[in-house]
Structure 1
Amino acid sequence: MTKFSDFGLADFLQKALAAEGYETPTPIQAQAIPHLLAGRDICGIAQTGTGKTAAFALPSLHNLSQRPIAPPHKGCRMLVLSPTRELASQIAESFRAYGKFMKLTVATVFGGVPINRQIRQMERGVDVLVATPGRLIDLIDQRALQLRDVEIFVLDEADQMLDLGFIHSLKRIVPLLPRKRQSLFFSATMPKTIADLADKFLTDPVKVAVAPVATTAERVEQRVTFCNQTEKQALLTLSLRDPAFERTLVFTRTKHGADRVVRHLAGAGIESDAIHGNKSQPQRERALARFRGGQSRVLVATDIAARGIDVDGVTHVVNFELPNVPEQYVHRIGRTARAGAAGLAISFCAEDERPYLRDIEKLTRQKVPVAPLPENFLAEAAKLKKSAPPVPVRQERDERGHGHGQRHGQSARDGHRQLPGGDQQARRRRFGRKKPAGVKVQAMGR
């Protein structure tokens, strides 16, 4: 298929695609759409930024339009699960764009916003519901939502779902779906755990893979600069003073690290915003809107929050800290060089991060070229260090709630803050609730 018109999509979709300027499908769209139009289950593998959302949204809307019925009470006809709030919002916007010439209701359900508003929104039911697993289960438990009428079920970014610890939520949600449904799995990578999950949830699926697992985007130029951990902030500040860094996405491993980078940049006169799980939903949306609109040319993000960042024109990705899970490197640098554009990915590598770099090069089967430190770097770094704001000392934990050296762990539910050490309810069961101030405990005699 060389044009979208070759698929035989409904007229309202053709009109919407023309309005969006879509003419030629991407490889994942060309291979997946015909199978989905035929009603087949699918397991699609494609690296980030290749058009997975349109690949499942267009044929799904076409199929729903062939049987025009009212949305079910407190339910939905199509359910899309997403690992993050930002990605859920992005998917919902795509559905609204593709379905703007049809009578379509789209809703998002995720944490960080009042649940009562979402309960009222679901009262009449919707055609398409895009949700994160934690808040979806909250609505089900409050009997504000039922899934027995779902015709199409989509699991997007399946690898990230498992990495964030959503496997138990998925095992609760899937049995609530009707057996007769169309199921779609899309993922940037396909480790064995995802393949096993697909075998359980999909029925005779078509497998579509348009890029080798963990292949980096072709037009991304990669570099690595070796430096001490204490030199990274100065290196970032000096790099961002180059006007070529027009729109830059900076990645850190921890939420507190992201905030610290923003404070240092502000002290150097460089405006930036941070986006991570400790930020409220309005704060995250404002930061992303400022970055997308050009009001802020630097966005500092953690891996979890960045999964929904789909912004055109990102010229540079900076790995302020290398990820300790090598697959995350592929997702990070895929934020640039989108839609055929070129981009530059720069990594700052300290001595203790060299094993992470070796894992990345082994996974991607590429040697990352080394770029030297800038001229007069030490002198410039000394100047910046004198003017740097004070940094509070705290225990660094990544956004999954564990230390840097660990590769896996349970995340905070839908990005909400999590106590160190895991599930809060489990901690209460183990240690008990904190005694309220002023309450005396008396021993009870027999």
Structure 2
Amino acid sequence: MDKDKFIELVFKKAQEKNIEEFEIYFLSGGNTSLKVYEGKIENFSDSQNQGISFRGKFDGKMGYSYTESFTEDDADFLINEAGENASIIESEDEQIIYDGKGEYVPVETYNSNLENIKISQIENFLINMEKEAKNLNSRVKNINSCMFGMGKGERIIKNSKGVFLKDKGNVAYTYLSLKAEENGIIKTGSDFKVGRKFEEFDFKKIAQNAVSDAVSKLNPISINLKESKCIIENLAFTSFIDSMAGIFSAEAVQKGVSLLKGKLGEKIAGEKFSLVDDPHLKDGEGSSSFDAEGVPTKYKELISDGILKTYLYNLKTAKKDGVNSTGNASKGGYKGTIGISSFNLYVKKGEKSFEELLKEIGNGILITDFAGLHSGLNSISGDFSLAAEGFLIKNGKKSAPLNQMTAAGNFFELLKDIDEVGNDLKFSLSSTGSPSVLIKKLHFSVE
């Protein structure tokens, strides 16, 4: 049977069994991706999935279950399985079904025109982008990846306390990576675009940016350097924020694995630094009017002018701290249990342009990319030692590319050393973003 009839059936059966409290969570998703190489389709994939999870209270304990098929037998299975799972739960943490209070802010996360894009249109777009990149500069020797993808999803939450919510969303993305070579030196460059309007995807601009990125890194120099003022470019700092986002989770704080524990109201960053989670951001990839528990989402500044203002809460962690949920419950798919995550997490942009940051620093280092964040950054202590790419800044201008550097320090100290924040806010392929930031000092070693 279809999902709507199945949800109603499960709901009815749960009521008939006098389940104390319960929730039905439906999630569907799909992803279409296309890659071209040498003017031909190299890879095409089109995947779809959907499922329903059920959670209910049995003798005061919450049990979970899920199914990917929607028959009457599956409805009985969902409820019975949740009951059996509840009986073996040892955790004393209280699980809460939301009562639906609060105002839901509508957000636009779906563009029907994306559904009508033909594969032939995408193929032509990619072939033209690949061709453009090759023709722009003779030093471009190879295209590593030339791809386009579209993702979509639908979500329904219905519970015994009157919550009945629906939303759907979609997004398109493209990515180009290439290699340029000169004098035996090979460098990689890339660019991407994320959006919900296909007409705004400009293959010429993406190709130009990727080629410029690669070519600008050719013929690097080495310098003797130990410590320097630096600018961390927007996407490089975004990767840092993305890797450290878990420290703002109330669950991590309560478990003692976040060094932000006990620091609410304290200054933890430079006074020009503010970190925002905005679920209502226009055209935001992670925008949503409600979280995975059906709680209304809201704009919040985790760090405001350098001061730590809040953690991110779901219902369980909020009750532990005696506060309201911030509407940041998450589920890793319909099979997942309730966790915590941000929606659109970004550093609030400042007033100065990138060029003004260069002038202000005068002489220093520009970091354009970090590598090895998964292994070179300790997300609990904040200590890092990372391979980095970048440029020399000389007399207020971006100068020669540098051989691969190692940048070392501590993320929490880095936040305190932020002197300026640029206005060049940019989001990565995830829903995390940042402008470029000017750092007082950072330790380096340059090959």
TM range (shorter): under 0.3
More strand by share: 2
User: TM-score, normalization: structure 1?
Assistant: 0.22
In terms of Rg, which structure is larger? 2
User: TM-score, normalization: structure 2?
Assistant: 0.22
